[in-house]
Amino acid sequence: MQEQQNLAIQEIHHENTLFAEPLWQVGNFTITNSLLVSWSVVILIILGSLILRLLLKKVPGKIQGAVEMVYEWFLETFDSITGSRQRSLQFFPLIFAFFIFILLNNWFGLLPGVGTVGQVVSEHGEAVLVPFLRGGTADLNTTLALALIAVIASHLFGIFKIGFWHHLNKFINIKAFLEIPKKIVNDPAIILVNPIKAFVGIVEIVGELAKVASLSFRLFGNIFAGEVLLASMAALVAWLVPIPFMFLELIVGVIQALIFAMLTLAFLTINTTAEEH
């Protein structure tokens, strides 16, 4: 009780940390404020999907018509990357799920109370505010998990589409070494060319790791920077001034979700295309 009174007297500090703050501990599992938001977004997506499914009609109303327009726009955009409507339809569930999940997490951090309402705890003798909610994509753990799912999914699709052997040889080019004894008589230059092909495959492996870093840090960096910007503007002038920046962050949220989705689609398209094509 005395500690709570001391905390109430002290000035409460709050800063945007690079990590998500823990709220509760369930056994060895830590529930953080960003994880809570991510769960909330998943529940909203599930409920929204069920409601849309129940509202589907042969003669579309205004809401269904708007949803179908968005659906058709995304498919046409996907076609420009995949070059095939069939591929676009195959990739659509995964890519659109990425887009909606990231977009809602980006926007969730702009809601009133998110990042500002929480519990006060004592850290190093200071009263520190730990928010109950924080945008999921402002946590590097979330964006890293999304990036890993995207890259791993692109490889799984590649294996299913062109086969394990062909997909493996994009990165560990065993086939290039096996061809040397067969073709060296007719083409002596192959003894120099094919080892280079194998080395390029090793470079591709480094590139796959770079994809994970690029996807995760780009999304996290932009959303976290937006949080810091809004907090700084609100600290300087609490009235009216932060509003234009909030609209800017709404646009940034859409752009970042779209970039992540389109890059993932590009990775899927590349990995499901045979090398000789």
Share of the chain above pLDDT 90, in %: 22
Take residue 113 and report the two structure tokens written for it. 């109370």
**Domain boundaries of the chain, sorted by first residue:** 2-271
d(CA 71, CA 65): 10
- pLDDT per position as a tens digit, 238-259: 676 667 777 888 898 899 999 9
* pLDDT at residue 193 is higher than 80: no
The pLDDT, as a whole number, for residue 49 is: 87
Q: Kindly list the distances between the CA atom of residue 219 and the CA atoms of 59, 194, 230, in Å, as whole numbers in the listed order.
A: 39, 38, 17
| Cα 69-74-75 angle, rounded to 5 deg | 100
Q: Tell me the mean pLDDT in the region 23-45.
A: 85
Tell me: the pLDDT tens digits for 103-120? 999 988 777 777 666 666
190 pLDDT exceeds 70? no
For residue 16, what pLDDT is reported? 65
pLDDT value, residue 277: 40
**Could you say which DSSP state residue 138 is in?**
G
Distance CA 14, CA 126 (A): 10
Q: Mean pLDDT for the chain?
A: 79
What is the pLDDT at residue 264? Answer: 94
* pLDDT at res. 18: 66
CA distance 137 to 114: 13
pLDDT tens digits, residue range 87-107? 889 999 999 999 999 999 998
Q: Is the pLDDT of residue 2 over 50?
A: no
pLDDT greater than 80 at residue 212: yes
Mean pLDDT throughout 40-61? 86
Residue whose token pair is 């205004």: 62
d(CA 205, CA 111): 40
Q: Find how far residue 148's CA is from the centre of its chain.
A: 9
What's the predicted TM-score (pTM) here? 0.81
Burial class (CB in 10 A: 0-12, 13-18, 19+), 171: middle
DSSP state of 151: H
Q: How far apart are CA 196 and CA 176, in angstroms?
A: 9
Q: What pLDDT is attached to residue 241?
A: 66
Phi, psi of 14 (to 5 degrees): -150, 135
Beta strand 22-26 pairing with 12-13: unpaired
CA gap 168, 202 in Å, rounded? 11
Tell whether the model's pLDDT for residue 7 goes beyond 90. no
Main-chain phi, psi angles of 191, to 5 degrees: -70, -20
